[in-house]
Structure 1
Amino acid sequence: MKYLLILISFLFAMEVSASSPSYQVGFTQTQIGKESDRPVPVTLWYPTADQSPVTQVAENSVFLGTSVIQEATPQAGHFPLVLLSHGYRGSWRNLNWLATRLVQDGYIVAGVDHIGTTFYSHDKEAAQQWWQRPRDLTRTLDWLLASPTWQDAIDQHRISAIGHSLGGWTVMLLAGAQTDPVQLLAQYNRYPNPRITAVIDEMDLTQKAPSDASNLQDSRIQKIVSLDLGLARGLSTDSLKTLSTPALLLSAGIDIGDLDEKLETGFLAEHIPLLKRRYKTYSEALHFSFMQLCKEGAEAILEEESPGDGIVCRDGESTRTALHDDMYHDISAFLQQDVY
């Protein structure tokens, strides 16, 4: 009995140790392609052994930030890489919570701001070059793998991409999905929604990509995670049926007035081969539950500033903190699995 208790105590200690953050979070921002027509703002979170000074990033009157060490020295080692893509009119801040947790567990994370469809840039001409969104991530990956600072720190056999909302659609294109304008119009005429129609019109998604962007797949990316994506029904069923990149498909179970998740993420799950995807719905999550934590009273502040915006901080009966715990558990487990 004594030896059994010792073994249980040892295993418990191992579990606690494995779940405890191993790394401090370094943080830096840059811009690649400054001289090009489409510069890409890049935010980097990475493991560091530095201990101070700790500051808060992505904090404002509504949202909670996270603790990082700005311009910290990168930790020596070889780490998996995760690329992040934000949603329509979002920014790197939206998945800052996820990036921080990943780094604590030993990942390098790079998030981009997609010019034309960010909170700070609503340029319609840039937004209509919709194929540039996945290219932003590919260009960021090119830059990282050529950088003297990052190339040796990245495990090139463990590169993944995660996107929320329109970011989920973006990483699907990186995985090999292709758009089908004819199918898109037919599907969203069948399931009309004013907000989806507005995005389709603003981004001119009925146009085909130029010939040099007809295939946006990046074979260096071994896994993708889609967080409650939209516009799924505009991705050709033929390309989904032949998808070879493993995909984790996560969705929100509470409809906020867009299409039901079964008509979006469920559409992907229906057509992607079963052995190439995992599919889960969080019954207490809304679309914005995948974003950063809101402060107490944030919903009222947003409603006062712009009626209707308070929904960004609304969840089901579960707290957003609890939802994030569940989401991170599922994402982390998927990323750690061997490629299948």
Structure 2
Amino acid sequence: MQQLKTLLIFLAIPIISFAQDYNIGERTIIYHDNSRNRPIKAEIWYPTSEIDSTYQRRTELPFHLAPTIRNAKFADNSFPLIVISHGTGGNRLSLAWLAIELVKNGYVVVAPDHWGNTFDNKIPEYFVRYWERPQDISFLLTSMLADESINYYIDEARIGMLGFSFGGYTTLALAGVELDCELIKKYAKSRDGKNEFNVPELGDLRKLVHEINCNEMPATLKDDRFKVFVAMAPAWGLGVPDEPQPIIKPVLIIGANNDKVAPIETNALKYHRLIPKSKYSLLEGRIGHYIFLNVGNNELQKQAKRYYLDDKLVNRQLIHEQVTTEVLLFLKTNLK
């Protein structure tokens, strides 16, 4: 009954649109972080006025996505920028559905591959070196703002950060949340730790967690260039000390009620409780962790069943529309 009630509520929610008359350009960019000897490969989606014959779906991707124009020219304007961080073992395209919707509404969106933590580049130690990801994002932003082929089109006063799962933690770290390295090791020995540090993409990470060199942590990961933050099903909440986090910028946290990977009690709700002025939104009913990933085609759903085990009463596309509406409203209200 609760699942049916939730579905009916979602059906009744109007889809708010702030759309402009733009099509969607898309290109791949690569920078190299010499200080850490790692490439930062990213996908950038952006408003374009082009409507030529290259406007087509990327048929090589196993997702249901709106068509984009590869390597199109930017629309002649400056736009707010949103940076997206993918989850553990995902990649820069994991949340392409949301990136595209944001572009339709006048944003430039960029999403990097986090080196060593993608589905096609699994380096075990980078599944637990949690401080690397925020540094990826800061380096990417610095590189884009110095890139004369891109920076003209970015409004540097309106930059936001958004992430899912491990990317949700990444987002909150850039806002100023600080994990306690020794606390992480302690909780890795607990029942909650056994659950949360056993990830589908690589298995049990607890041994790697215990081997973390806490002295390698930078003094801070916070990046004041970001003005707003959206964390979807954020992970790594076990490592946050139980004390208020000194964050004053707007933060939206979206939790999934049936999240078995990053349970809301130790993650989304905990972050919300410790970030006093944060806004919390719950996707109710039988909605799980991976609801935030792209809608997959039939073949992908068969090959990657773990990521598409949605309850029969849950419509992923419908949930995406709800999340889009909420994120757009939050950005419109706070990214001024």
Range into which the TM-score falls when normalised by the shorter chain: 0.7 to 0.9
Structure 2 residue aligned with 1:55: 56
1:130–1:205: 8 Å Cα contact kept in structure 2?
no
- Offset at residue 178 of structure 1 (A): 1.1
1:261 paired to 2:264:
yes
C-alpha change, 1:112 and 1:259, in structure 2 (3 Å) is closer
The aligned residue for residue 158 of structure 1 is 158
Structure 1: unaligned runs, 5 residues or longer? 1-14, 303-308
5+ long unaligned stretches in structure 2: 1-13, 199-203
Computed over aligned residues only, the root mean square deviation of the Cα atoms, in angstroms, reads: 2.5
Percent of aligned pairs with the same amino acid: 24
Q: Counterparts in 2 of 1:231-270, with a 5 A limit?
A: 231-238=236-243, 240-256=244-260, 258-270=261-273
Q: Which amino acid in the other structure matches residue 318 of structure 1?
A: V
Q: RCO higher in 1 or 2 (8 Å CA, sep ≥ 6)?
A: 2
Letter in 1 for 2:250: P
Between Structure 1 and Structure 2, the one with more helix by share is 1
Question: In 2, Cα distance between the equivalents of 1:164 and 1:329?
Answer: 17
Alignment of 1:1-340 (within 5 A): 19-20=18-19, 22-33=21-32, 37-52=37-52, 53-57=54-58, 59-61=60-62, 63-127=63-127, 129-188=129-188, 189=190, 191-197=192-198, 198-202=204-208, 206-208=212-214, 210=216, 213-238=218-243, 240-256=244-260, 258-273=261-276, 275=277, 277-284=278-285, 285-296=287-298, 298-299=300-301, 301-302=302-303, 309-316=304-311, 317-338=313-334
2: CA distance, partners of 1:18 / 1:283: 23
TM-score by length of 2: 0.85
Larger radius of gyration: 1
**How far off is 1:298 after superposition?**
4.6
Deviation of the 1:42 alpha carbon: 1.2
- The C-alpha deviation readout for 1:197-247, integer Å capped at 9, x for no partner, is 534544668432526x22010000011111101111212344x52122321
What is the SS of the residue equivalent to 2:111?
Answer: strand
Query: Take 1:74 and 1:291, find their aligned partners in 2: how far apart are those partners?
Result: 27
TM-score normalised by L of structure 1 = 0.84
Task: Tell me, in whole angstroms, the C-alpha distance in 2 between the residues paired with 1:187 and 1:203.
Answer: 10
In structure 1, what is the Cα distance between the partners aligned to 2:59 and 2:288?
A: 21
How far apart, CA to CA, are the structure 1 residues paired with 2:89 and 2:29?
Answer: 20
Aligned in 2, Cα 1:17/1:330: closer, same or farther, shift over 3 Å?
closer
Q: Find the residue that maps to 1:152 and give its secondary structure.
A: helix
- Quote the offset at 1:131 in angstroms: 1.6
Tell me the matched-pair count.
Answer: 313
> What SS does the aligned partner of 1:33 have?
strand
